């Protein structure tokens, strides 16, 4: 049994604490929680009958912890992960792992030096239809890839951004691309492979925040395939869609629903036996936009630690989609096509985070 402790008891901690605290992940249990805001930590602690702390180091020194889960504001992940690495326990960090590439590099180095595994939460990779799509891709059913597209059409009103100071800021959050759509950017790159160049436009359409609530991005992949990212939190009056489409010479797949959970299209030139009932068997409707992936994600974390397997999204893999997001912002700031690999010069993400 691995002992998990949470650092940060805000919105997403509800999901993590329910899974770990209610015994929904085999081989894992919640042993302690921590938040600078004691009332938030106490609420979760009382629900799952575990001790709570305000100081993460005091928690680590007092409790017997095997895995630390960092659920703090995105721009603070860097300091928390680096400081926690010295305790020598594996670390799970929510997405995005960091905001700047330098921060991501420092986190990777700190975890390598401490000989611990760093896991970046990308739970959508574990959605049932996404796993099915990945299988089809790996078995070569698409043949030559033609185009990959993702769409995030969610609804976040001003009150969502106003609930905490960090939301919608360059220093600690980023906009729709960094926060809500970071999963979809990750999925697109995971399916389509390395990106060669990007061009993007963004705007802040319906709320007052520093960063963008709406963006469109065109991409050219190293394979020659093309891609499109369409991302907004200005869909009204409610969340509409979180989806991905992959088109290749051998077939086409589209996964939709509002959390990339519903297989909408599954068509291949060379059919296989189970193709007919794939649409029904590989779709699940989750109750919210987080989807069901966190549970499968934690099963994966436990498996990697107990059986010393490689994480699907380690620090380097988490850095990969962060590099793409930085490149997109660089294009937005400069009005130019940005080629990867590159060093950001004008991208504002993470600036002012001291
Ligand atoms: N995977 C997903 O689908 C998903 C969904 C939502 C949020 N997230 C990510 O989770 C992270 C947290 O988001 P949230 O909405 O829960 O934010 P939040 O503001 O609700 O919670 C963050 C908490 O961290 C606490 N904190 C900050 N510094 C701390 C410290 N040193 N010690 C202890 N606690 C500290 C804050 O007091 C706050 O309560 C973000 O990076 C976000 O992008 C991921």
Least confident of 112-121, 166-175, 341-350: 341-350
179 CA distance to ligand 1 centroid (A)? Answer: 12
Per-residue confidence (pLDDT) for residue 352, from 0 to 100: 87
Give tens-digit pLDDT for 36-51: 999 999 999 999 999 9
Q: Is 8 in the pocket of ligand 1 (CB under 6 A)?
A: yes
- Atom of ligand 1 minimally distant from the CA of 182: 43
Residue in 33, 35, 91 to alter for ligand 1 test, most ligand atoms within 8 A of Cβ: 35
Share of the chain above pLDDT 90, in %: 90
For residue 80, name the pLDDT band (cuts at 50, 70, 90). very high
Q: Is 127 in the pocket of ligand 1 (CB under 6 A)?
A: no
pTM over 0.85: yes
Shortest-distance Cα residue to atom 3 of ligand 1: 290
Mean pLDDT of the chain: 95
Residue in 42, 56, 73 to alter for ligand 1 test, most ligand atoms within 8 A of Cβ: 73
Give tens-digit pLDDT for 131-158: 999 999 999 999 999 999 999 999 999 9
164 CA distance to ligand 1 centroid (A)? Answer: 10
- Atom of ligand 1 minimally distant from the CA of 72: 24
Q: Which two tokens stand for residue 160?
A: 């969502």
pLDDT at 31 over 70: yes
Per-residue confidence (pLDDT) for residue 342, from 0 to 100: 84
Shortest-distance Cα residue to atom 34 of ligand 1: 35
245 CA distance to ligand 1 centroid (A)? Answer: 30
Q: Is 74 in the pocket of ligand 1 (CB under 6 A)?
A: yes
Give tens-digit pLDDT for 204-257: 999 999 999 999 999 999 999 999 999 999 999 999 999 999 999 999 999 999
- Atom of ligand 1 minimally distant from the CA of 77: 41
Q: Is 71 in the pocket of ligand 1 (CB under 6 A)?
A: yes
């Amino acid at each position: 049994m691995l002992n998990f402790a949470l650092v940060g008891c805000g919105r997403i901690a509800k999901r993590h604490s329910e899974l770990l605290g209610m015994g929904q992940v085999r081989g894992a249990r919640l042993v302690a929680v921590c938040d600078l805001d004691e009332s938030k930590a106490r609420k979760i602690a009382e629900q799952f009958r575990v001790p709570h702390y305000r100081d993460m180091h005091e928690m680590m020194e007092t409790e017997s912890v095997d895995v630390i889960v960092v659920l703090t504001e995105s721009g603070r992940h860097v300091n928390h992960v680096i400081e926690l690495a010295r305790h020598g326990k594996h670390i799970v960090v929510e997405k995005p792992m960091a905001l700047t590439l330098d921060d991501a590099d420092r986190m990777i180095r700190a975890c390598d030096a401490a000989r611990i595994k760093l896991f970046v939460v990308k739970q959508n990779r574990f959605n049932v239809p996404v796993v099915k799509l990945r299988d089809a891709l790996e078995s070569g059913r698409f043949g030559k890839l033609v185009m990959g597209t993702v769409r995030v059409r969610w609804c976040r009103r001003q009150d969502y951004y106003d609930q905490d100071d960090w939301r919608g800021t360059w220093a600690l959050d980023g906009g729709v691309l960094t926060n809500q759509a970071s999963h979809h950017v990750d999925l697109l790159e995971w399916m389509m492979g390395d990106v060669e160049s990007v061009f993007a436009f963004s705007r802040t359409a319906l709320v007052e925040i520093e960063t963008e609530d709406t963006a469109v991005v065109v991409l050219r992949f190293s394979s020659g395939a093309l891609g499109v990212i369409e991302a907004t939190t200005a869909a009204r009056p409610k969340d509409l869609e979180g989806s991905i489409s992959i088109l290749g010479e051998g077939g086409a797949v589209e996964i939709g629903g509002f959390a990339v959970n519903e297989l909408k299209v599954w068509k291949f030139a060379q059919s296989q036996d189970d193709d007919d009932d794939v649409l029904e068997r590989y779709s699940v409707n989750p109750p919210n936009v987080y989807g069901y992936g966190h549970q499968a994600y934690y099963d994966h974390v436990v498996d990697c630690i107990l059986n010393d397997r490689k994480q699907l999204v380690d620090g380097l893999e988490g850095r990969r989609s962060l590099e793409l997001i930085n490149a997109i912002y660089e294009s937005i700031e400069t009005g130019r096509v940005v080629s990867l690999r590159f060093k950001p010069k004008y991208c504002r993400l993470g600036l002012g985070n001291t």
